[in-house]
Amino acid sequence: MADTKKKLKNNRTALGGWMLIPHPAIAEIMAGEGFDWIALDMEHAAVDLSMVEQIERAVRPSGCDLFVRLDGVNPILAKHVLDAGAKGVIVPNVRSPEDVDIMTAAVRYPPQGNRGTSLARALDYGRNFDEYLRGHNDNVFVAVMIEHHLAAGRAEEILARPGIDAAFIGPYDLSASLGVAGQLDHPDVLTSERTILDACRRTGVAPGYHVVPPERARIDERIAAGYRFIGCSLDTHFLMHGCRSLLQT
């Protein structure tokens, strides 16, 4: 079982890095710093499937879990990224219990789901077929993103569906859906976040949040508020802030 999944089951915090630049060196550098998980972003970055394999090879020695943020509620892409070696998926903009059911089935083999079997890379090209299939349905990780105020309003119904490990708030989309794009501390955004957090408590799903500014204090605030599955900034922001802090006088 992926460590992230175990940690969340035990109500511990799992911190993740976020990759928009799909280069194995970025993955090696970030994974080597001790993140529990890394998300490779196929929603908002130019990442193709062959890169998922390359990034997984780079992440693997660290023991860090590689997840892929999909481009939507997309069961076909989920199958491809798992076959390539990702340990789980982060599904953006989940709006309904039906969306959850489509994705939790797509990532699991029958009888619980409908993922197609293969002799793909994740199964060591068939050498690990039996063992992978035996453990996979329990081991696979699924985070659903709640990032629209209408989904926040249905959060308890959405998160009550089985097979989800975490509910991950995308603050930018959430704020945009409320007409206050980028105003992450706007009272309406905070109210929606509280609704999602309460739904997590009632359903036993680990709450998650993407803290985009690379500031430890903001991560600690979210941990103190009860969030457990926390995305920490972006590779692009780490670079940008590193450059700025050097060049600013």
**If contact means CB under 5 to 8 A according to the sort of partner, which of ligand 3PY, Mg ion, none does residue 171 touch?**
ligand 3PY
For ligand 3PY, which is the closer residue by CB, 91 or 123? 91
Q: Which stretch binds Mg ion (CB under 5 A): 31-39, 111-119, 147-155, 234-242?
A: 147-155
**If contact means CB under 5 to 8 A according to the sort of partner, which of Mg ion, ligand 3PY, none does residue 99 touch?**
none
- Total number of residues binding ligand 3PY (CB under 6 A)? 6
Nearest of 45, 36, 31 to residue 223 by alpha carbon: 36
Give me the least distance between CB of 245 and Mg ion, in Å please.
27
Query: Which of the residues 57 through 116 are near ligand 3PY (CB under 6 A)?
Result: none
For ligand 3PY, which is the closer residue by CB, 75 or 170? 170
Among 88, 170, 207, 208, interactor with Mg ion by CB under 5 A: 170
Query: Which of the residues 161 through 190 are near ligand 3PY (CB under 6 A)?
Result: 170-173
Among 65, 147, 165, 235, interactor with ligand 3PY by CB under 6 A: 147
For Mg ion, which is the closer residue by CB, 35 or 168? 168
Residue 193, interface with ligand 3PY (CB under 6 A)?
Answer: no
For ligand 3PY, which is the closer residue by CB, 136 or 148? 148
Cα distance between residue 168 and residue 95, in whole Å = 13
Give me the least distance between CB of 117 and ligand 3PY, in Å please.
31
Cβ(129)–Cβ(120) under 8 Å?
no
Query: Which of the residues 207 through 236 are near ligand 3PY (CB under 6 A)?
Result: 210
For ligand 3PY, which is the closer residue by CB, 20 or 199? 20
- Burial tier of 247 (Cβ tally within 10 Å: 0-12, 13-18, 19+): exposed
Q: Which of 44, 136, 237, 241 is catalytic?
A: 44
> Any catalytic annotation for residue 44?
yes
- CA of residue 174 relative to chain centroid, distance: 16
Catalytic residues: 44
Residues found near Mg ion in the complex (CB under 5 A): 147, 170, 173
Residues found near ligand 3PY in the complex (CB under 6 A): 147, 170-173, 210
